[in-house]
Chain A
Amino acid sequence: MISLTLNNELITLDVEPEMPLLWVLREELGLRGTKFGCGIGMCGACTVHMNGQPVRSCSLPVSGAEGQRVTTIEALGSPEAPHPVQTAWINKQVPQCGYCQSGMQMAVASLLASNASPTDKQIDAAITNICRCGTYDRIREAIHQAAKDLA
């Protein structure tokens, strides 16, 4: 049995310790906002927060999250109470197909939590997620916008 705090709720799971957190979230817990993209931690579509830090859940065995605090896109914000990153994402009309954007927003929310006003260079270094539609221009604009709104 593995226990962790997911979106502020304590949960206990009977799964193999090596099952990646991604598949626990999507299939054991039905939280499908976190996406599967590559399975090797390259694309970042599966990014969630563990203790506030961005992690690529496709490559993190659930045992690695034992006793930790995990947050997914479902708890980042809602239409009624959007996270500033989500507000900026809508204002700047960022998504195209949208598939990578859960992970992208999670990565950005974590960056802004530790660096309220990142430079372009810091953004480049921190946000390594892939967007195949190529929404990068607007991602960058939206990050700066969200940073302003948070300030």
Chain B
Amino acid sequence: MGITRRLFLISGVTLGGGLAIAAGGIGTYVGIHDRLQHQRTGAVDDEGYLVNLWIRIAPDDTITVLIPHTDMGQGSPTGLAQIVADELDARWDQIRIELAPVDTAYANGKPLEGYVTEMLPVPGWADAFAEKAFFRIADMMNMQMTGGSTAIRFTGWDNMRQAAAVARDMLVRAAAQKLSVEVANLVCSEGVISDPASGRLLTFGNVSAAAAALSPKKDVLPKKPDAYNFIGTSMPREDIPRKVFAQETYGIDADVADMQYAAVSRVPVFGALLDSVSNERDIRARRGVTDVVALDRAVAVVADNPWRAEQAVRAIQFSVRAHANQQVSSASLEQEQRDALAGKLDNGFDIGDVDTAFSNAATTIEAEYFVPYLAHAAMEPLNATVWRQDDKLHVACGVQNPLMARAHVAQVADLPIEEVVMHAHAMGGGFGRRVSFSMTGDVPLNWLSDAVQIALTRDVPVKTTWSREQDMQHDMYRPMVLAQFKGALDSRGIPVAWQSKSFINEANVRAVQSPYSIEHQRVDFAGTHQIVPTGFWRAVEHSQHGFFKESFIDELAQAAGRDPLQFRLSLLGQDSAEARTLKKVAEMAGWRTEVDRRGRSMGCAVVHSFGSTVAQISEVSRGANGVRVHRVWCAVDSGRVINPQAATAQVQGAVHFALSAVLYGKCDIHAGAVKQSNYHDYRMVTLRDAPRVEVALLKSDNPIGGFGEVGVPPLAAAVCNALAVVEDRTRRLPLIG
């Protein structure tokens, strides 16, 4: 373990990375802040490599693509390598993929720019971190972030593609010098630069050192799409054989010599403090137990085996100090939200004259929707391994932004950031749980805080693993949201007014905004502090608001007595991504508004999020065993698709992920704590109830869109809209349990 000298050198030299910074906004800010420094340092290391921030071309003809995003299953490293291979005109078998070191050089101003502009207003972030005195705003943008479907869109398309094009240009110029011919006379293809006139050839490796001595050009244009070899092709994912043969090392598999294991029992009530432990002596006497550690809000046992530690921590008897949160329940939290919506509201936007439109309307409809708190329940329970080595504190774990996790560790351990070394591992799922910040200012890295605090009390390496129960009861939950809608139709059944009020912690107007052309619209919010820590959950606000707004437009269609799909199309520009995906999905599913002989009905929904538009149709029935979702069809407009099979897998997976929430997902609050504790009472879809999911990726000239999250938002509405064909509409999730 430890950062090798070679990686250190790589992170200290760059050319393409610096050039790749786009003009304007936060990207430029971070560029100035960080990358110029690297740009000035030079372009070649002492082993004759041509290197830039993302790409390393070695004399042996291997091309290493350094991936700044940690893997949690999206397959983006392969997609990023495809982009680089294409722009370089390399062969696929030359490409090596390597996780970039946890270093500020790999922080992604540009990805964050996209993230920020699409998901959250910047000031919200600034507040959360300014309070914690973690970072100034520029440093905040300085995250090595995996999330928000940013990897391909921003890191890849905007930065790496440019870096590869610059590197290719340098290789070709170096070859021209070596062969004493004009650049224009050379052909570059499959990792070889050739001079057709003389028949002479040079490989990339032959000229990598010479190329590194040249200065990079600023005006290199990327390839034209008709010349792509890898972009748009379903290349096999590089990580898959490793995972199939169980050779991937997740955080939980980290192995450090002489390591011990900690298990944790946190005080269940949010905010409450540990009082005392009554049976510490008995616990210490158990086989393998080496220590009992009391933290402010948790107690931990350290032992020579994780099971012994877990059994011991479950046997600990501890008392908790009384806390006002013990009075809080799901019902009281929902009432708080309802009260907030009846009080003073913040306006998101206001178009036309909503009040007059309602007073003149032929029909007015009101509806209240509700979604509960949800846990992430990623398969790999939260864990981190912490040890001291060479006067540094080392941490091995899987997180979505290792740079910020490193800063967090430094803060918890009260060390300078430079004294913390982060070893980023693959994640057994993230879905937003393994990020470092939340919209409420709660710290999602709570398990990492525990691990660091526990390890600091010991002089041996300690791996801390939260049980599934701890994971589920101390999550950063998808927010519970109550939303109230009001809509109006004129005498022809055309919607004329749309109004929504929703409880929200940080208003993301784009998630709440409906795509439909309705003359009078008002969107309001109300938010008060609630005790349950909330965070990012796959697709963030789009997952709740996709359900609300796409259910309500269906209610308007029903009230107007119209086909809900045609009704939507009548309110959309015919060339819009929403209209195109709806038409496509209708064709795929054989859209019908009637129940078929088997009792199956269809529902549709369309949501734009993270740069992509996804329309879905679900086919649903209600039988003796409850709701059954048989099939789901998805049509996606995400601009150019880098790897169609990997993209398809993301959308299919997102449907099942969302379906678990629709059918079963809820975390109830009882006496200030989460009631659910494991997969038996927080159920997941398995093969038995997984529908068949078909995905079509539309050919599109739209800007490249994300894939990791975009399949989630339409699903809940598509399912409930289908049920509403045959029974009273469901406005509260989940449907079962």
Binding site for B on A (CB under 8 A): 16, 19-20, 22-23, 26-28, 30, 32-40, 42-43, 45, 73-74, 77-79, 82, 86, 89-90, 93-102, 105, 123-125, 127-140
Q: Enumerate 15 A-B pairs (CB-CB under 8 Å) in ascending A order.
A: A20-B307, A34-B246, A36-B252, A37-B379, A39-B467, A39-B678, A95-B240, A96-B75, A97-B380, A98-B244, A105-B244, A132-B429, A134-B690, A135-B649, A137-B690
Q: Are B429 and A97 in contact, CB atoms less than 8 angstroms apart?
A: yes
Identify which of B167-175, B500-508, B651-659 touches chain A. B651-659
Which residue of chain A has its CB nearest to the CB of B428? A99
In angstroms, Cα B253 to Cα A35, docked, is 9
Give, as a whole number of angstroms, the nearest-CB distance from A107 to chain B: 10
CB–CB A95/B287 < 8 A: no
> Looking across the interface, which residue of chain B has its beta carbon closest to that of A96?
B73
Whether the pair A43, B379 counts as a contact (CB closer than 8 A) is: yes
- Contacting residues, chain B, for A45 (C-beta < 8 A): 379
B426 touches A97 (CB 8 A): yes
Contacts of B253 in A (CB 8 A): 32
Residues on B with C-beta less than 8 A from A34 are 246
Nearest CB in chain A: distance from B526 CB, A: 33
- Asked whether A132 and B684 contact (CB < 8 A) given A38-B679, A89-B244, the answer is yes
Report chain B residues within 8 Å CB of A95. 73, 239-240, 243-244
Chain B residues numbered 296-335 whose CB sits less than 8 Å from any CB in chain A: 305-308, 310
Number of A-B contacts (CB under 8 A): 176
Q: Cβ of B252: which chain A residues have Cβ within 8 Å of it?
A: 32, 35-36
Q: How far is the CA of A90 from the CA of B236 in the complex (A)?
A: 8
Alpha-carbon distance A133/B538, docked complex (angstroms): 11
**B645 in contact with A33 (CB, 8 Å):** no
Name the residue on B nearest A23 (C-beta).
Answer: B307
B468 touches A39 (CB 8 A): yes
- Residues of chain A within 8 A (CB-CB) of B249 are 32
Is B628 in the interface zone, CB < 8 Å from A? no
* Selected contact of B378 from candidates A128, A132, A136, A137, CB within 8 Å: A132
For residue B200, CB closer than 8 A to chain A, the reply is no
Contact B380 A79 (CB under 8 A): no
B190 sits at the interface (CB 8 A)? no
Q: Say if the beta carbon of B348 comes within 8 Å of chain A.
A: no
- The dominant DSSP class at the A interface is loop
Q: How close is B614's CB to chain A, nearest CB, in angstroms?
A: 15
**Given A37-B468, A79-B245, A124-B688, CB of A23 within 8 Å of CB of B380:** no
Complex interface: chain A residues within 8 A of B40 (CB): none
Report yes or no: A134 in contact with B240, Cβ–Cβ below 8 A. no
Bound form: Cα–Cα A38–B310 in Å: 13
Cα–Cα, bound, A134→B307 (Å): 28
B: number of interface residues (CB 8 Å)? 64
Smallest CB gap from B250: residue in A: A99
CA distance A22 to B305 in the complex (A): 12
Asked if residues A99 and B305 are in contact (CB atoms below 8 Å), the reply is no
Question: A40 and B379 in contact (CB under 8 A), knowing A90-B236, A97-B426?
Answer: no
Whether the pair B305, A134 counts as a contact (CB closer than 8 A) is no
Q: Is the CB of B690 within 8 A of A136?
A: yes
Closest 6 CB pairs of A and B: A134-B656, A99-B428, A33-B246, A98-B243, A97-B73, A96-B73
Most central of B379, B680, B693 by chain A CB within 10 Å: B379
* Cross-chain contact of A28 among B241, B247, B305, B678 (Cβ < 8 A): B305
Assess the B429–A36 pair: CB atoms within 8 A. no
**B656 and A97 contact, CB distance less than 8 A:** no
Min CB gap B272→A, angstroms: 25
Say yes or no: A37 contacts B686, CB within 8 Å: no
Chain B residues in contact with chain A, CB under 8 A?
71-75, 236-237, 239-250, 252-253, 255, 261, 287, 305-308, 310, 377-381, 426-431, 465, 467-468, 645-646, 649-650, 652-657, 678-680, 684-688, 690, 692-693
A106 to nearest B CB, angstroms?
10
Central interface residue in B239, B243, B654, B678, by most chain A CB within 10 Å: B243
User: Please, how many angstroms separate the alpha-carbon atoms of A90 and B243 in the complex?
Assistant: 9
Which residues of B lie under 8 Å from residue A140 when comparing CB positions? Answer: 687
- The residues of A that contact B679 with a CB separation of less than 8 Å are 38, 40, 42-43, 130
B656: chain A residues within 8 A (beta carbon): 131, 134, 136
Partner of B687, one of A27, A33, A35, A128: A128
B680 touches A137 (CB 8 A): no
CA–CA, A39 and B242, complex, Å: 25
B655 surroundings in chain A (CB, below 8 A): 134
Whether B307 contacts A90 by the Cβ 8 Å rule is no
User: Are the C-beta atoms of A135 and B245 separated by less than 8 Å?
Assistant: no
Chain A residue nearest in CB terms to B677: A40
The one of A40, A97, A137 that contacts B468, using a Cβ cutoff of 8 Å:
A40
Min Cβ gap B259→A in Å is 10
Query: Given A128-B687, A134-B685, A138-B649, is A98 in contact with B654 using a C-beta cutoff of 8 Å?
Result: no
Complex CA distance for A98 and B242, rounded to whole angstroms: 9
| Residue on B nearest A97 in the bound complex, by CB | B73
- Output the nearest chain A residue to B383 by Cβ-Cβ distance: A36
Partner of B379, one of A33, A97, A123, A137: A97
CB neighbours of B261 from chain A (8 A): 27
Alpha-carbon separation in the docked complex, A71 to B637 (Å)? 45
Q: Are A73 and B237 in contact (CB under 8 A)?
A: no
If the complex has contacts A42-B679, A45-B379, are A97 and B645 also in contact, measured as CB distance less than 8 A? no
Complex Cα gap A74–B308 (Å): 25
Establish whether residues B250 and A27, one from each chain, have CB atoms under 8 Å apart when the complex forms: no
Residues A97 and B428 in contact in the complex (CB < 8 Å), given A42-B678, A132-B684: yes
Q: Which residues of A contact B378 (CB under 8 A)?
A: 97, 99, 132
